[in-house]
Amino acid sequence: MLDLILTQTLNGLASASSLFLVASGLSIIFGVTRIVNFAHGSLYMLGAYLGWTLVTWLGPASPFGFWGGVLLAALSVAAIGVLIEVAILRRIYQAPELFQLLATFGVVLMIQDIALAVWGPEDKLGPRAPGFKSFVILFDSRFPTYELLLIAIGPAVLGLLWFLFRRTRWGTLVRAATQDREMVGALGVNQRLLFTSVFAFGAGLAGLGGALQLPREAATLHMDLSMIAEVFVVVVVGGLGSVTGAYLAAVLIGILHAFGILIFPKITLVLVFLVMAVVLVAKPHGLLGKPPTGQARAPADEPLLRPADRATKLAGLAALLLLATLPLVTPDYLVLTLTELLILGLFAASLHFMMGPGGMTSFGHAAYFGLGAYGAALAVKWLGAPMEPALLFAPLLAGVAGAVFGWFCVRLSGVYLAMLTLAFAQIAWATAFQWVEFTGGDNGILGVWPAQWAVSKTAFYYLVLGLCAACVLLLRIMLFSPLGYALRAARDNPLRAEAIGIDTMRVQWAAFVVAAFAAGIAGGLFAFFKGSVFPTYLAIPRSVDALLMVLLGGVQTVSGPIVGAFAYAGLSEQLSRLTMYWRFALGLSIVLLVVLFPRGLVGSFLAWRERSRAEPAR
Amino acid sequence: MDLILAVSGLDAYYGRAHILQGVGFGMARGEVLALMGRNGAGKSTTIKAVMGLVPPARGEVRFEGSRIDGRQPFEIARLGIGYVPEERRIFSELTVMENLAVGQRPPREGVPHWTAEKLFALFPNLGRMRDRAGGAMSGGEQQMLTIARTLMGNPRLLLLDEPSEGLAPVIVEEMAKTILALKDEGLSILLSEQNLHFAGAVADRVAIIEKGAIRFTGTVAALTANEAIRRQYLSV
């Protein structure tokens, strides 16, 4: 037993090293540029693939070939980092904070297809490191020497980073810029160069982490997203911007994994997220993180949310009329597409409600969509409920989950809040995935069909249109109600809002529940639309979809999320019909849209309209 | 006249608010000019516009004869303008020495070359807390550090935004002495100030800004003599 514990500890420590390399890179990049780099997992994946190519090319048998290849891979990924920073991110530092996230997600999609095109769909089995191919006998069991090497690399890199940040001018500048980058610029430091170098450095660390992982596991096309989820956890648990915290968290997560597989194989998927939830609830800024010291960034240049003017109301009405008449003239498949778009529109609008006016970004909004779908499906399966009451169950389950999860989330803010929503979403997802007896697990729940009167495509379409339009309108009315005003006050200046008697947490909690409830309605409709539910409804990609739709439309606009939903979902569907490499095309479109419309589609349109109105007056 | 700084027709916006509406003034080399006015009159924005932190929408800023409006703050800093912000903006996680290191630039011809040791002679307090984190210092010490940090860039022109604000009277006096010492070293200094007494102690001339435009310029003595101007633009 004891030797098992010891070997599993060593295993955990070994996997912690790569995790730490990638996480520290992400943390450093976020600290200076304030960009949550979704593409960091992709850089890690590129490190592994490039490592495989370079080591194979240089000759994996010789130490020079192997280590030279690994180093070269890290440098190449750093160079790719430079390319990404200069070509994309540099243009959008001034954009609203989370908008850059959208761009980096576009990069994720592009890199996925580039990797597919260059290396093909088969896994690339990594070469073993010369000199580290054997085992040592530790605690009566065999332990690969390469694992021992990895265990040593973690602290070694930590030490190097410490030296770099405490003892070199570059490190001092990076730490200063982490606190106040504008001031660093005013002192004569070229921020552009600093940002590029920081991004390259962080990318290089991710690439190194990927290349070093090669002898342990094959390079695959899925390692980007699985890594990014874990690395987010590590960075947040450790405390944003704290490299030592990232190491501690990486070790914690690595060891938890090693033991989790042994002790509770059923909950390994959710274990890390449980840990993150516990840590964030107990320590809102992570293990070693500090509360942000920078001044609160006032959204100075954001267009104000205004009640709809005549033109907007007319446009809304016209759109509704158009949507109502479309099924009369369009072919069936288009009606299906439109039904899905409407549901996604409501889903996006619900996320927008908490994200835009509420200022609470959620990385896990799929939880409420999915729980809505499961609420409806479970009611059908276990209670034999017909569609109408099942559709009531949907928002109920989502709303209750929103009330519970939200109660914890509103105690945090910013990225930490977003991460906690992700943790809860993963917990909900794992429950749906692993509670097979109740939810059907991976097989989902089938046979969730609409009532007799709504069975035809057109009838169901009108049901969806009616419900979605009503919900979106209600959300909109709520934005211009006292709750909406209090919500925006709490977002813009929590201290002042509290000082005039607004219980900001309560208001945000209310908004959280409303958003979850509305997402639940969308989810319930989706369940009946598809006739089945699966755990993927609650999974990360769907949360990301919602986020993309909202950001693409423009966070600080009311109609943005709906336009964003139509643009995003429509675009991805059209592209997937057109080309095998639709991810690349979609990613490229996202990046271009971000660079061209840095306030989102509707946001940019409003800003343009405002400018063209103001211009003649001057 | 050898103007180190010439500002003319400067317009600047914060979002949609039109803060500067045609600000214009000049500064002679070696001069200390106090920019005075009420809260919200545009003092800080003028300084930020010179530094490039608030990009001017119209108008021009000339430093030693060449235009600097539209340039990046770091370029402006490298040309020899040092900016000391109102909120101090010390890097609280960095030590005193590290804060100074961030500001360090190569020596510049014709102005004193500041080193940490030389600055500690000017600000003895700082020399006694070299390894203390910026966040663990008092307000007065932070104010000294922010000036010292900017001086590490060896500027010819120093922009001081409200240097006496929020400081204890003893420290304000020390601050005045420091400014005069810097003037003696040959620096030109533009400072924004609300306290006429303080401005009178350090400045050669005063420019009064109100609603985004300069309404008066003259010597301190002229302003002291002109009660109407003082009442109109400075009294609260």
Task: Count Cα atoms within 13 angstroms, Cβ side, for A169.
Answer: 9
Judge whether A522 lies within some domain: yes
Judge whether A273 lies within some domain: no
Number of folded domains that form chain A: 2
In contact, A210 and A186? CB cutoff 8 Å: no
Residue A540 has pLDDT above 50, yes or no: yes
Pairing of strands B188-193, B157-161: parallel
Judge whether A270 lies within some domain: no
pLDDT, tens digit, 9 for 90 and up, residues B172-201: 999 999 999 999 999 999 999 998 889 999
List chain A residues with CB under 8 Å of B85.
183, 186
DSSP-assigned letter for residue B3: E
Other CB atoms within 10 Å distance of the CB of residue A90: 15
Q: What is the 3-state secondary structure (H, E, C) of A235-280?
A: HHHHCCCCHHHHHHHHHHHHHHHHHHHHHCHHHHHHHHHHHHHHHH
Backbone angles phi, psi at B71, to 5 degrees: -85, 160
Whether residue A200 sits in one domain with residue A315 = no
Please provide the DSSP assignment of B159-188 as one string.
EEESTTTT--HHHHHHHHHHHHHHHHTT-E
| Higher pLDDT among residues A518 and A595, named by residue | A518
In contact, B199 and B230? CB cutoff 8 Å: no
> Considering the entire predicted model, what is its pTM?
0.85
Helix A601-617 vs helix A560-578: angle between axes, to the nearest 10 degrees? Answer: 130
Q: Which fold has domain B31-54+71-233?
A: Rossmann fold (3.40.50)
Judge whether A248 lies within some domain: no
For residue A229, name the pLDDT band (cuts at 50, 70, 90).
confident
pLDDT, tens digit, 9 for 90 and up, residues B79-107: 999 999 998 899 998 999 999 999 999 99
What's the CA angle centered on B149, arms B144 and B154, to 5 degrees? 120
Whether residue A316 sits in one domain with residue A215 = no
List chain A residues with CB under 8 Å of B87.
295
pLDDT, tens digit, 9 for 90 and up, residues A19-76: 999 999 999 998 888 888 989 999 999 999 999 999 999 988 898 999 999 999 999 9
| Two tokens, residue B186 | 């040959």
In contact, B54 and B45? CB cutoff 8 Å: yes
3-state secondary structure of B24: strand
Helix A414-434 vs helix A540-553: angle between axes, to the nearest 10 degrees? Answer: 140
Judge whether A304 lies within some domain: no
| Residue B166 contacts A where some CB pair is shorter than 8 Å | no
Q: Which of A160, A186, A221 is the last residue of a domain?
A: A221
CATH of the domain at A430: 1.10.3470
Rounded distance between C-alpha atoms, residue A24 and residue B225, angstroms: 63
Helix A457-479 vs helix A482-492: angle between axes, to the nearest 10 degrees? Answer: 70
Share of chain A above pLDDT 70, in %: 95
DSSP-assigned letter for residue B133: B
Alpha helices in A135-190 (DSSP H): 145-167, 169-186
Low-confidence winner among A297-301, A423-427, A541-545, A606-610 (lowest mean pLDDT): A297-301
Contact B94 A184 (CB under 8 A): no
| Residues across chain A | 618
Rounded distance between C-alpha atoms, residue A18 and residue B6, angstroms: 56
For residue A614, name the pLDDT band (cuts at 50, 70, 90).
low
| Two tokens, residue A423 | 């943790």
For residue A188, name the pLDDT band (cuts at 50, 70, 90).
very high
For residue B17, name the pLDDT band (cuts at 50, 70, 90).
confident
Contact B102 A187 (CB under 8 A): yes
For residue B236, name the pLDDT band (cuts at 50, 70, 90).
low
3-state secondary structure of A565: helix
Which residue out of A172, A187, A190, A244 would a mutagenesis test of the B interface target, given it has the greatest number of B Cβ atoms within 10 Å? Answer: A187
Judge whether A446 lies within some domain: yes
ipTM of the complex: 0.93
Other CB atoms within 10 Å distance of the CB of residue B154: 23
| Two tokens, residue A157 | 């890199």
Contact B102 A172 (CB under 8 A): yes
pLDDT, tens digit, 9 for 90 and up, residues A368-393: 999 999 999 999 999 988 999 999 99
A interface with B, Cβ–Cβ below 8 Å:
169, 172-173, 175-176, 178-180, 182-191, 293, 295, 300-301, 614
The boundaries of the domain holding residue A186 are 17-221
In contact, B135 and B91? CB cutoff 8 Å: no
Rounded distance between C-alpha atoms, residue A137 and residue A597, angstroms: 59
Low-confidence winner among A142-146, A305-309, A380-384, B11-15 (lowest mean pLDDT): A305-309
3-state secondary structure of A198: helix
Give the residue extent of every domain in chain B. 31-54+71-233
Backbone angles phi, psi at A61, to 5 degrees: -75, -35
Whether residue A395 sits in one domain with residue A534 = yes
Contact A185 B74 (CB under 8 A): yes
Residue A572 identity (one-letter amino acid)? S
Whole-angstrom CA distances from A178 to A9, A154, A240, A251, B96 are 34, 23, 11, 25, 17
Contact A175 B53 (CB under 8 A): no
DSSP-assigned letter for residue A500: T
